[in-house]
Amino acid sequence: MAAKKKVSKKKAAARKSTTRAGKTTTRKKTVKKSTPRSLLLEIGTEELPSSSLRRLGEALGKELFNELREADLTAEGATMRWFAAPRRLAVLVSQVLDKQVDQDVERRGPAVSAAFDDDGQPTQAARGFAGSCGVDVDALERMKTDKGEWLFFRTRTAGRKAEELVPEAVAAAVAKLPVAKRMRWGDGSAEFARPVHWVVLLHGKAVVPASVFDIPADRVSRGHRFHCKKPLRIADADAYEKTLKSGGQVIADFTTRRDMIQTQVEKLAASVKGKAMLSDALLDEVTSLVEFPNALIGSIDSEFMSVPQEVLVSSMKDHQKYFPVVSARGKLLPHFITVSNLKLTNPARVRGGNERVLRSRLSDARFFWDTDRKQTLADRFDDLEGVLFHNALGSTRQKAERLEALAGELAKLTASDESHARRAAKLAKVDLVTDMVGEFDELQGTIGRYYAEHANEPDEVSVAIGDHYRPRFAGDELPTTDTGKLVALADKLDTVTGIFAAGEEPTGDRDPYGLRRAALGILRILSEGGVDLDIGDCVTLAQKGYRDQGHDKLALNPEAHGKTINFMLDRLRAHYNAAGFGTDEINAVRAAGSTRPLDFERRLRAVATFRQLDAAGSLSSANKRIQNILKKADVKAGEVDAGLFEGKEETALHKALTDTASRVGPMIDDGEYSDALTELAGLREPVDSFFNEVMVMAEDPEVRRNRLNLLNAVGSQFLRIADISLLQD
């Protein structure tokens, strides 16, 4: 058995950090470090999907940097840059070490008293611990702590080299990339978004031996497909960006390229006294299509300017990836800006080619515009019978008939113009059968508005047709008119109610009909749009539409009614959480049973204001206590009998409650919830005094019941607005 070794106070103190047998602690050894160098990874591919290029570049940079950091290969101050161009993804990480730092590994084993028997021979505990450490018992040390003497094992693990770890980090990072659909190429088994043709992997000036996507890593990259025919040799990782720009005619950095495009486009638009329509989505997509951007401006023939502006803009932005140019007032000018991936040695020729492509597309649009207007929307209504809405729910014509009836009922409830609501709802979907929407489906509703205007429909009807899809997404604008709000409500209510009745409600992440988006749209129109309707009433009316068309099995499904209402109310939580309200505040209002979103929001704002008052915490706790007492007592609420009071605290609370209720009642009836809660906050002192001085569960059953009734009356006043007992401290 090894003799006990002396240890320094410093080491002994360090060893005390081990607290249980078998625990391992790791300490990095202080050694002379090699000079860190930059690490470069470039993956060269066929043209990557423009819609996901930026996301792939960001993800590769993040994942590789994290993997290197987890492998302890990054020195202090290490940074990362990601690059993304149509034919490449790349990452440059600074301060990458040649190898991991050596590590001291320390393990505490069993207590010495348990490690050796009376004869001093190792027990199974000692032998087992030594075996787990890969040594004999004699090789173990002993250590003393304030809890006794223990066996102890210490060894040093040499850090692995970067050339071993980097390939592992690259493989792990690549495997985590968000590639929606992977493809294979050649005879290999590698899979990626597009075929991979080359891989550069450098640590400083040295190539890291590795294989990525079955391709051996090298230092040879490729430049612009047309302007650089020769391979590019990357001498050093830090020279990557400069080499690609000067030798390969490639701007590898995504942000740099994007800024170049924006600057060029804005300058060209200003040259014709206009302003380019720049959106982040279009800028990102165009940036993802070119490696060396060169913008130029083209013209639109005046004959096409009579076509609706939205059609021209859609043709340019969505179909051709051009930037439209508008005046200071937002009117479309007869110009567009395109971004070429070539050096403009002959700008006129490139401009002419782009103008011809756009002219061809706009010619089709003008033909559709002229042809469609030969019939009114009303003339085409019956054509909706040929457009299926849902197998179980009928055609789009049947849906339009339900919308007409539902919008009319909603108009009655809100004292709106019923005739406008019914007309707009009936015609809202008819543009689906026009040639223009057949070609530009993203303009549904917008085209209907133009065709309604051409047919001299009332402005209220035309605008509502254009607005009825709003809000299309979170943060989108609401319909601008009362009729538009009602038609939008009818459309979304009919869809959500019908799909739920058909038993195809969303599950998990699956929501093929966009019901979550539709439900949120309903709630926003009702609350933000100031339409004071009850969700339960709305769902009942929507179900009636299906029943009137003979869908009795769908319309009379009792489970679907409740599930639909709860589904929509559940969207409130996410909506108001995103707006900054607390979950407990939302739950407090939900508990009060309000199913009118406009009313719900008023209550929620009142609760959020109330909890800032000094009395809020005390009253919330008191209401929790009241709820618990009433739940345990299990008695039905009854009238309070002042003749049964035995103390001044009961009398004081009853008087304060009576006076407060007389003032609060009209406030609640008028929806002035914030003022009502402020008044109720005045009950803090008498409530606190009551609980401090009065025994609620008195021996006399009549007195006890009367005190419970008094507490119930207090709680009921708050519950008329929200259950503040659910507010967290």
- The domains located in the chain, with CATH, are 9-30+103-157 (no CATH), 37-100+161-248 (3.30.70), 259-372 (no CATH), 392-580 (1.10.3210), 601-726 (1.10.730)
Instruction: Give one DSSP letter per residue of 251-296, joined into a string.
Output: ---HHHHHHHHHHHHHHHHHHTT-EE---HHHHHHHHTT-SS-EEE
Q: What is the pLDDT of residues 416-434, one digit of tens each?
A: 999 999 999 999 999 999 9
Give the per-residue pLDDT at 2: 40
Q: Which of 46-60, 390-404, 543-557, 704-718 has the lowest mean pLDDT?
A: 543-557
What pLDDT, on a 0 to 100 scale, did the predictor assign at position 643? Answer: 85
3-state secondary structure of 532: coil
3-state secondary structure 40-89: EEEEEECCCCCCCHHHHHHHHHHHHHHHHHHCCCECCCCCEEEEEECCEE
The confidence band for 33, taking pLDDT boundaries of 50, 70 and 90, is low
Residue 13 pLDDT > 70, yes or no?
Answer: no
pLDDT for residue 659: 93
Calculate what percentage of the chain has a pLDDT beyond 70: 95
For range 582-605, the mean pLDDT: 93
DSSP annotation of 324: E
Contact 180, 52 (CB under 8 A): yes
Looking at the DSSP bridge assignments, the partners of residue 83 are 90
Do the bridges between strand 196-203 and strand 191-192 make them parallel or antiparallel, or are there none, so unpaired?
Answer: unpaired
pLDDT at 645: 87
pLDDT, one tens digit per residue, over 35-94 is 799 999 999 999 999 999 999 999 999 999 999 999 999 999 999 999 999 999 999 999
pLDDT band at 531 (very low <50, low <70, confident <90, very high): very high
Separation of CA 243 from chain center: 38
Query: What per-residue confidence (pLDDT) applies to 435?
Result: 96
Contact, 504 vs 495, CB < 8 A?
no
Q: Are 650 and 695 in contact (CB under 8 A)?
A: no
Half-sphere exposure of 416 (CA within 13 A, CB side): 24
Amino acid, res. 243: T
For residue 270, pLDDT over 50 is answered with yes
CA distance 138 to 153: 11
- CA gap 407, 467 in Å, rounded: 14
| Residue 123 backbone dihedrals phi, psi, to 5 degrees | -85, 175
Three-state DSSP string of 114-173? HHECCCCCECHHHHHHHHHHCCCHHHCEEEEECCEEEEEEEEEECCCEHHHHHHHHHHHH
Per-residue tokens: 576: 């108001």
**3-state per-residue secondary structure call for 667-697:** HHHCCCHHHHHHHHHHHHHHHHHHHHHCCCC
Higher-confidence position of 199 and 30: 199
Please check the confidence at residue 14 and state whether its pLDDT lies above 60: no
Is the separation of the CB atoms in 25 and 106 below 8 Å?
Answer: yes
Rounded alpha-carbon distances, angstroms, from residue 667 to 48, 140, 329, 392, 673: 62, 79, 46, 47, 7
- The three-class DSSP label of residue 339 is strand
How big is the CA angle at 460 (ends 454 and 463), to the nearest 5 degrees? 65
Judged by average pLDDT, the poorest of 141-150, 196-205, 315-324 is 141-150
* Beta strand segments in 318-372, E: 323-326, 332-340
- What kind and span of H or E run contains 27? strand 24-28
pLDDT digits (tens, 9 = 90+) for 93-125: 999 999 888 777 788 889 888 888 888 899 998
Torsions phi, psi for 191 (to 5 deg): -135, 135
Identify whether the C-beta of residue 152 lies closer than 8 Å to the C-beta of residue 16: no
Q: What is the pLDDT of residue 32?
A: 45
Amino acid at 104: D
pLDDT of residue 296: 96
- More confident position, 389 or 34: 389
pLDDT (mean) for 557-566:
87
375-393 tens-digit pLDDT: 999 999 999 999 999 999 9
Token duo for residue 337: 């800006």
Alpha-carbon span 495 to 692, nearest angstrom: 55
Write the CB contacts of 578 (distance below 8 Å, at least 6 apart in sequence). none
706: alpha, beta or left? (left if phi > 0; alpha if psi -120 to 50): alpha
Buried/exposed 394-433: b ≥16 CB within 10 Å, e otherwise: bebbbbbbbbbbbbbbbbeebebbbebbbbbbbbbbbbbb
As a whole number of angstroms, the distance between CA 55 and CA 90 comes to 13
Sheet holding 206-207, edge to edge: 80-85, 88-96, 37-45, 196-203, 206-207
Expressed in percent and rounded to 5, the helix, strand and coil fractions of the chain are: 55, 15, 30
Per residue in 141-152, pLDDT tens?
A: 888 888 888 888
- DSSP letters along 177-246, please? S--SS-EE-TTS--EESS-EEEEEEEETTEEP--EETTEE-BSEEE--TTT--SEEE--SGGGHHHHHHH
Average pLDDT over residues 715-719: 91
Instruction: Flag the least confident range among 298-302, 371-375, 384-388, 553-557.
Output: 553-557
- The model's confidence at residue 663, banded by pLDDT at 50, 70 and 90, is very high
The closest of 350, 355, 353 to 334, measured between CA atoms, is: 355
% of the chain residues with pLDDT over 90:
71
Give me the phi and psi of 416, to 5 degrees please: -100, 175
Give the side-chain half-sphere CA count within 13 A for 568.
32
* Other CB atoms within 10 Å distance of the CB of residue 186: 9
Site of tokens 């170049």: 260
Q: How many other C-beta atoms are found inside a 10 Å radius of the C-beta of residue 159?
A: 19
Residue with tokens 């993304």: 84
- From the CB of residue 72, how many other CB atoms can be counted at a distance below 10 Å? 16
Is it the case that residue 34 has pLDDT exceeding 70? no
What SS3 state is found at 555? helix
- Nearest Cα neighbor of 687 from 723, 667, 719, 660 is 660
Higher-confidence residue of 334 and 650: namely: 334
Average pLDDT for 348-366:
94
Question: Could you read off the pLDDT of 444-489 as tens digits, one per residue?
Answer: 999 999 999 999 999 999 999 999 999 998 889 999 999 999 999 9
What is the distance between the alpha carbons of residues 384 and 395, in angstroms, rounded to a whole number?
7
696 CB-near residues (< 8 Å, 6+ apart): 629, 704, 707, 708, 711
Per-chain mean pLDDT for the chain:
90
